[in-house]
């Protein structure tokens, strides 16, 4: 796989940059006021990086970037609890994107974006319900799904833009 022929410094730098970008997005969107009273509900815009990395580099490194971003994100924002939320949303998004990568051509990257958005929000809602033990929160599911699909479309389109414009090749393995 092309990955392994990269020199380790180059790879490290690339991954570090991606992590930094994801981290910035994550921290910035955390400053937004919550729209829904579902705790931890975030637009999940940082998944742009997950999508980009998944479709230009590969699942292994994507996972690295994802976990690093989540870990550092909770350290920098001082919120230990968002760890679980981010993990739930991010990992679910990762899993789905991983499964899809074989199927989607570049022009259909937005599909991955939407599906990722859906999974991201389902994951967050599930964690919120589990932690607060308020099953009633499930009433927000349709709202979250709609918003998740919206932001997912956005992230998917952005990811496609970046894949086209930035150096690196789109890979579907």
Partner 1 sequence: MKTKYWVMLFAAVAAACVTAIVLFPLPQGVANSAELYQNGVLLCTVPLDEDTRFTVPAPDGGSNTVAVSGGRIRVEQADCPDKLCVKQGWSRTEGYPIVCLPHGLVIQPKGRQVDFDAAAH
- Give the count of alpha carbons within 13 A of 148, CB side only: 25
Task: Decide if residue 49 touches partner 1 (CB under 8 A).
Answer: no
**Closest approach of partner 1 to the CB of residue 65, in Å:** 23
Is residue 172 within 8 A of residue 102, CB to CB? The reply is yes
**Closest approach of partner 1 to the CB of residue 36, in Å:** 9
Is residue 80 within 8 A of residue 147, CB to CB? The reply is no
Task: Decide if residue 169 touches partner 1 (CB under 8 A).
Answer: no
Is residue 144 within 8 A of residue 36, CB to CB? The reply is yes
Q: Is the dihedral of CA 53, 59, 64, 68 positive or negative?
A: positive
Pick the binder of partner 1 from 145, 157, 168, 171 (CB under 8 A): 145
Instruction: Kindly identify the residues of this chain, within the stretch 76-95, that bind partner 1 according to CB under 8 A.
Output: 77-82
Interface region with partner 1, contact rule CB under 8 A, candidates 1-9, 64-72, 89-97, 140-148: 140-148
Task: Decide if residue 128 touches partner 1 (CB under 8 A).
Answer: yes
Contacts of 16 (CB under 8 A, 6+ apart): none
Task: Decide if residue 52 touches partner 1 (CB under 8 A).
Answer: no
Is residue 163 within 8 A of residue 52, CB to CB? The reply is yes
Interface region with partner 1, contact rule CB under 8 A, candidates 44-52, 54-62, 127-135, 162-170: 127-135
Question: How many CB atoms are located within 10 Å of the residue 108 CB?
Answer: 13
Binding site for partner 1 (CB under 8 A): 33-34, 37-40, 77-82, 103, 107-108, 111, 114, 118, 128, 131-134, 136-137, 139-143, 145-146, 149
């Amino acid at each position: 796989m092309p990955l392994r022929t990269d020199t380790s410094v180059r790879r490290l730098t690339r991954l570090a940059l991606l992590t930094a970008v994801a981290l910035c997005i994550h921290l910035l969107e955390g400053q937004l006021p919550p729209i829904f009273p579902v705790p931890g509900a975030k637009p999940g815009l940082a998944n742009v990086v997950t999508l980009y990395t998944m479709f230009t580099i590969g699942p292994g490194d994507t996972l690295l970037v994802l976990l690093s971003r989540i870990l550092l994100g909770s350290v920098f924002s001082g919120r230990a609890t968002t760890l679980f939320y981010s993990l739930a949303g991010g990992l679910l998004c990762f899993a789905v994107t991983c499964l899809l990568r074989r199927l989607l051509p570049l022009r259909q990257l937005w599909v991955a974006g939407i599906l990722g958005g859906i999974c991201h929000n389902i994951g967050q809602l599930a964690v919120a319900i589990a932690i607060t033990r308020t099953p009633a929160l499930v009433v927000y599911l349709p709202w979250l799904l709609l918003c998740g699909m919206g932001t997912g479309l956005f992230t998917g389109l952005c990811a496609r833009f970046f894949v086209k414009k930035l150096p690196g090749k789109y890979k579907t393995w």
